[in-house]
Structures are given as C-alpha cells and as structure tokens.
Structure 1
Amino acid sequence: MTIQKLLYAATALSLMWSSCKEMPNAENKQDAAGNFPAYIAQSNIYEVNVRQYTPEGTFKAFEAHLPRLKEMGVEILWFMPITPISEVDRKGKLGSYYAVQDYTAVNPEFGTLEDWKNLVNKAHELGFKVITDWVANHTGADNRWIKSNPDFFVKKADGTLAYAFDWSDTRDLNFENPLLHDSMINAMKYWLTETKIDGFRCDVAGEVPRSFWQHCIAELKKVKPDIFMLAEADVAWIHDAGFNASYGWDGFAKMKKVARGEASAKLLDTSLMKLEETFVPGAIKMYFTSNHDENSWNKADYETMPGAVHAPFAVLSQTWKNTLPLIYSGQEEPFLDSISFFYKDTITFAKFERSAFYKTLLGLRKSNPALAVDAAYKKLVSSNDDAVYAYIREKNGRKVLVVLNLSANPQTVTIKGEFSGEADNVFGGKKEKLTDGQQFALAPWGYAVYSY
C-alpha cells in the first residue's frame, strides 16, 4: 500500500468515526430539526437567475432590483451558481450553471469577484441574507480538478470519466476519496470568508454521501455558526446530516395533480403524513409553485397552475406546515414563459401584477408568529374536503386561518374548528367575526386568509 493510499485510509476512518459521533438517534431527532438559524423562522426565499434577470445579465444590473424586492418583503436571496461554466461538452451557447469549471472563481459572464462582493454588501445593508447554489455532486467536463486531481472523479470501466443521466456536460465526483472532502469544504469556506455569504443551497444533495455533509456542515459552522443550509432533496436523512431545510418535492408533485383536476384536495394530506412519519419532527420544507427546474423543463407555474389556479397554491406554499416558501425570478411579474437554461432569455419586467399579492403574504409571514416554521398546524374539516382545504396555524397566542378552494367550481362550505374570534381578513382588508361552523363562499380557485 502506498503512502497516499495509507493517508486515504486513515482519513476515511477519521471521517467515519466523526460521522458516527455526529449521527442523531431517535431521542435527539427533535434537536436536528430545531437547530436552525433564528432568522429563517418567519422568512422566505427568492431565487435569482442572474443571467436572465436583466438584459445585461450581470451582478451590477441586478443591484437595481434590490430595493424593489426589499419592498415586496423578500428576505433570503438565493443565487443560482455564480462559478464559471465549463466549455468542454457545453450544452447550448452559454452552458449550464451546474457544470462548474472552477469552484473558487466567478463566472465572467456575471462580472468580477469585486462586483459580487459589492452586491453581497449592498444586499446585507438592506437586510437581506444571501446564499449561493453549490454543486457538490459533479463538476463540469473541464473542471480544473480533472487535471490537478484526477482521482477526485468516478471512472468508467474504459477509464473515461463518468456522468449521470443525460448530464453529458458534467463529470461525477468520487466521494470515496477523503481528500476530495477537504478540497470541497475548503472551497465552500472560501465563499463564506472571502465574500461573507450566509449559506448554500446544495444541488442534488441527496446524491452526495451523508458522511460528507455531516463533516462539511460541522466544519462550515466553525466559520459561520448561523449558516443556513438548504438541500435540494426530499429524503429524511438530509436533516440528520445537518441541513436546516429540504425541498418539498412530494408536496409540489401533489399540488400539480390537484391543480390539473387529477386528484382531490385530500391528496395534500398524504404529503403531511410523509412529513410526520418519515422526517424528523419539525423538519423544515421549502414549498414553491415554481423554481428554475420546474419552469425550464415543466412549464411551471404558467401551465402547471395557469391564471387564477396559481393563487391558492401560492397561499398554500406560504402558509402550510413547516414551510419556508420560495418565489422564483419573474413570478411577481408574472413572466408567463419558460426561462431558457443554456441560452440568453431575458425575463421581461414591466407590470409586477403579483407583487402586491406576494407582499401581502410575505408581510403576514413576518408579522404573525403563527406562520413560523415551528408554529402548530391543525387541519380543519369542511363540508366538502374534496374541494376545500382548510387549516389553522398557531403560536404565542396568535393564529392564522387559511381556507382554499382547490377546484374549478365555486364552493360554499361550512368549516368546523376552534377559530372563533375577531380576525383580519388579510386579502379582504377588513375585520370579521369568525365562529365555529361558519360558512365560507369561495370563487373557483378562491382563497381566504385570516390573521388574529
């Protein structure tokens, strides 16, 4: 065995021992879910597609939108990958953000490192938190590690570098190599220390070994104790590994079925059953009506939830149990088209027709602790649960009642539950007296939200 192999083995044993020590058991799973930075409790996320956001597609050009997004109530800005894009096997003219050429450099398409630092500083001055997309599972086809550290990569039987699915512009990383762990973690630390970002959204996080994330997140917390870590994954162990929030893919898939009329509103309860039965108690899920994947490939939200159909599901994503909601670039306009992945395809901003709607929802989340990620949730029974989905959130003596018509027909229903009292009709702009067993009249895809 060579000295290098001995070093690999020793480091691997160290990582395995560290992972075993950090693995939460059944008794401390609540700690795993409750361990999140305080600022996300009543917060929200806005995904920024820099390339398509402005005609210039630069950090500097995006800065002009910061005051508008602040006014709308946005708090956490998630930037899709800002690293350079590989040229070998590039898809389309500009390539995929997720084919990383260099983990510690800035995509010149967007500007310079100083431009990025200035943007982060200005965002922080306005009160935003800033996270960037991190692609740990794979690199681009000409990532600089391919030459400097070829043993960081998975090789096929013929000796060529492997890639998954149809991602021919990428190359898979080999996490059995412990030296890769250190290099990846050091690259992430660079962005925390050099540019002062607040955390990461981690691409296909469930495909990266749990042992790596446990080691990685523990190390990142030494640099930034209140780091926010979001996983693109819908698996329970991701929370045990140290992530603060994960994707609500299952909930979104069921929302789409209800929106298409393929299932009743009752289907949504199965997502919460999965959350209760599979995930750690209190696990925070990011719910959404669109994101860059769903928009580019599956026509969200302009066809999956067209026109009036969008609104009740947006309300749901903002107010559901354990949710940290997401808004994607252009949804406030709304930009009713797919946003290209590999080419320049500028979002048109002009009318901002949903801005007031989102501002109301984001403002409610901030002002009423009943919508905090750890607030209580109770499903309410209506006289037509196939069409109407109703629930109440509660914390610190405050409540939010949500009534959604998830059907294309008008509904008049009675709802049972402990929600009596005077409340603000959030979208109606007036106070109303609510009583148990009250009747609610809802337009097709209508919604009512009460705060008290």
Structure 2
Amino acid sequence: MKKHFLSLAVIVTTLCSCEFNTSNETPAFAKALSKTSFQFAETMEESGVIYEVNIRQYSPEGTFTSFTKDIPVLKELGVKILWVMPIFPISETNRKGSLGSYYAVSDFREVNPEFGTLQDVEDMIKVAHEHGIAVVLDWVPNHTGWNHTWITKHPEWYTQNDKGEIVDPIDPATGKSWGWTDVADLNYDNQAMRDEMIADLSYWVLEHDVDGFRMDVAHKVPVPFFKRAIDSLEKIKSPLFMLAEAEQENLMANGFDMHYAWQMHHLLNEIAKEEKSVDDFWTLLAQYDQTLAQDDMNMYFVTNHDENSWAGTLGERLPDNKEILTTLTYMLPGMPLIYSGQEYDLDKRLQFFEKDSIPKEKGSYFELLKKLGELKNNRKSLHGGKTKASLIKIEASNPEILTFGREKEDDQLLFIGNFSSSLITTKIPLSGAFFNVLTGEDVAISETQAIPLKAWEFYILSPKTHLNFDTRVIPNTVNE
C-alpha cells in the first residue's frame, strides 16, 4: 500500500468531501486542529510490536481505565501499536453466555458500558499517543449483533433467505451456518449499507483520533469496499494502519498494511510437535518471497484471542518450546504480536463470553519479551516493514538447526536455534567473535568447531566485526 502524507492544509480542504454524514458533526477544521500532535509513522511498522488488548479480561475491573494505567508497562515491551478488541455495545438478542461476544456489535458509534465511557476511550488514546503508541480499533464489517440499530431500520442491509428472513453468516462451501448464531450477516450488495459503514469508520478517525483498524474476517468482505473505505479514511487522517484478519494478497494490494501469517502460525504449532521441520520453514519462507510484495507485512504470532480460547494455551500447544518459537516471530521480517496476558505467561484459556482475568506477575517470559522488544525497536537488522532488513539463510551441518542472519545497512544479527527435543551438535560456515544479546555474554564461533545446542536452545548473536553473509537472501534479492 502506498501511504499519502498530507499536510494540515490538504487535510482541511479534503475533509469536507469525506464520504460520511456530517449533519451532526462540528466543523472539520476545528476537529482537525483539536487533535493531538501524534502522527503514525512508517518507522513504527519497521521496528514495532503490536499488542492485542482484551479490555474485558485484562484486569479484574475489565475497564478502559484499568488498562490505560498499564500502557507504560507495554511500552517496556517495545509495543508501538495497540489493537483494541471491539469496544462497542454487545447485542443482547441471541447473546452467547452472560456477557456475549465482542464481535456481536449493536452500535458502531457507542461504547460498551461494561468497559467504561467514551471519555475513558479518549483518555486511553491520549495516554497511548503520549507514549508514542498508536491505537487501532477492532472493527467487525462482516456482520452485526441481532439488535443492532440497522436490523429494524434497514433489514435490506442484511443477507436474507428465500423467506425474507435475516440469516447468520453462511459457509459458502456447504450452504450451512458457520455457527455464529449471535450475529446477522451483512449484505454488501446494498450500497447504502456500505456508505453507512464508511460513515461509522470515519466517525472514529475524525472525532476520536484513532490511528487505524483491524478488520475482522476481512476475507469475507468484498475487496472493493475496503479500497473505497481506506481511501475515504485517509482523506481524514494519513497515514493510518490497517490490519486484515486474513492471509490474502488482494487485500494487501488494496490498502492494507499487514495481514495474518496464518500459514506460519500453523507451521510453528506443527514444528513444536516435531511434525514439521526446518526444511518446511524454509519452504514457506520461499513461498512468502514469491507472493508478498516488498511493502507487504506479515503479522507473526504464537497466540491471539481465538487461539488462546479455542485452540489452547501456550502451555498446551508449545509446552517445551514457547521461548524459541516466540523469539522466531520477532526475528522474521514482519511484526510480532503479543496477546493480553501472554507477557505474564498466561496458563489458562480465557473465557470468551464471561468475565475472566489474566495474571500480572512478571517472570522470565516477560523478561524475554522485554529484551526482544528492545531489539525490535532498536536494531535496524530486525526492521520488518516496507524497507525490510534482509534475511540470509545460513546452512548448518544438521537439518534440525535453523540458522540465518538479518542485515540492514551496517547492522547484523545472527540467529541459531535447535528445533528439536534432542541435544544436537552442529557446525555453521561462519567464524568470528559475537555478543549474545539476550545474556550479555561473549561468544566465539569457528566454522571448524562444533556448537552444542540443547533441546530447543537458541542464540541471538551480534557480530563484533562485520560478517560476509554470502548465501541466499530472503525476502530481498537472491544471491547465488
């Protein structure tokens, strides 16, 4: 996606042509001048960590205010973007559980009173901006809750069966319900619905200074809608950061900055069980090299709200190797994700439709994420945005050892990891003196000397003198 950096003068002149209903709005000029001086920068894409905020479960209170107090802690973890799960009122009709799903929205312009007030949201955004952190709202464009205001006012905005009844989302492969019975499927053939959806999105950018959106089930919404919506939003504020819950290149080509690396996530789960190998990792990385444009970004993760609640905790899925697999998500070109509670080594599946809470005791995993965040923020060799650092494959003598370099300009890092449950001794074709950036120790490597690695052990090494990485480069040019 090409970003459009607009001066205030251009913003002011274009605000009047934005595609949303301004009948109840104060003048756009006054709104533009009243905003904070915070500006999302593409450097945040290069060196940032994204944090998924589950307001309900983040604290015992489950409020915006309780979360806002911890924003300085998240900054310690290298967080540059907050992705806040839906903040909107939850539909009561067909609700699942006693509190319902965040994704069954009843009004896109209101705030869930369970979490607090609109002023609390504005305070959260203000504090985040003061700490140099962008705020991205989780948006649900594919469906609404059953008592959304549109249901009775505009039933034609929804998908209907042959009896004229509004239906929940249908699996096109089977013609049957996905089981999302607490939501009603929106009809994107209706242009008026598209217009109002863009109006609601625009409201949050213009009135409340949000910095972008994470689009839920983006692969189920027509791509032309997103193209028009993002173009309209960036007439109000530019640049914005747009995340698609999909792994789909046509979305990236039409305004999105980042999408989910679902294939890598599933591969990491399989590697953790030793069902897939280092060779499979390189095969997938080569596939990304062929399919991703230079300015496309993958979001890498070992957990998120869906994975934690439905697939299992890190302890269940990655019982012996969460450290090495988490570290790998930071070492790849792209952006790593932290989910609420992950930093505190969350060891339970958070309830999705009821109140729950995460632990708040810092341990070794928190310290690992803190060090990785510092590296991501400060080392050019870990840049992962539109001007990614190179990733250089380095052959090891054992196929279960993953070794690669990251390099940009004068900065280099070397990753060596044992992706097996056995002690392995290996050699790599490099010699030199290094600094272990995680432990602070000096390390010497010789291409003639074997390196012992315990099960799932890994190193991130910074060379003391510049190395000649002379093998295949991913995802930039290939040097044979």
Decide: shared fold, TM above 0.5.
yes
Give 1:380's aligned residue.
Answer: 394
Q: Is the 8 A contact 1:37 1:227 kept in 2?
A: no
SS at match of 2:415: strand
Give 2:441's aligned residue.
Answer: 430
1:10-409 mapped onto 2 (5 Å cutoff): 37-164=42-169, 165-306=178-319, 308-320=320-332, 322-373=333-384, 374-385=388-399, 387-409=400-422
Give 1:32's aligned residue.
Answer: none
Q: Is the 8 A contact 1:370 1:400 kept in 2?
A: yes
Give 2:3's aligned residue.
Answer: none
Q: CA, structure 1 residues 131+62, in 2 after alignment: closer, same or farther (shift >3 Å)?
A: same
- Alpha-carbon RMSD across the aligned residues, in angstroms, is 1.8
Q: CA, structure 1 residues 281+83, in 2 after alignment: closer, same or farther (shift >3 Å)?
A: same
Output the TM-score relative to the length of structure 2.
0.83
Give 1:445's aligned residue.
Answer: 456
Q: CA, structure 1 residues 436+217, in 2 after alignment: closer, same or farther (shift >3 Å)?
A: farther
Count of aligned pairs between the two proteins: 414
5+ residue gaps, structure 2: 1-18, 20-40, 170-177, 464-480
Q: Is the 8 A contact 2:155 2:166 kept in 1?
A: no
Q: What are the superposed Cα offsets for residues 373-403 of structure 1, whole Å, 9 maximum, x if unpaired?
A: 1111112111112x21111111012111111
5+ residue gaps, structure 1: 1-14, 16-35
Q: Is the 8 A contact 2:78 2:376 kept in 1?
A: no
Cα distance, 1:151 vs structure 2: 1.6
SS at match of 2:87: coil
Give 1:411's aligned residue.
Answer: 424
Output the TM-score relative to the length of structure 1.
0.88
Q: CA, structure 1 residues 144+384, in 2 after alignment: closer, same or farther (shift >3 Å)?
A: same
Distance 1:437 1:116 in 2: 58
Amino acid in the other structure paired with 1:146: I
Q: Is the 8 A contact 1:275 1:283 kept in 2?
A: no
Cα distance, 1:436 vs structure 2: 4.7
Distance 1:438 1:46 in 2: 41
Q: Is the 8 A contact 2:101 2:352 kept in 1?
A: yes
SS at match of 1:356: helix
Amino acid in the other structure paired with 2:211: D
Amino acid in the other structure paired with 1:147: T
SS at match of 1:171: strand
Cα distance, 1:279 vs structure 2: 2.9
Q: What are the superposed Cα offsets for residues 85-118 of structure 1, whole Å, 9 maximum, x if unpaired?
A: 1000000110000011101110110000001101
Cα distance, 1:451 vs structure 2: 2.4
Q: Is the 8 A contact 2:214 2:245 kept in 1?
A: yes
Q: Is the 8 A contact 1:369 1:395 kept in 2?
A: yes
Moved over 6 A (4+): none
Range with greater deviation from structure 2 (350-359 or 297-306): 350-359
Distance 1:332 1:438 in 2: 36
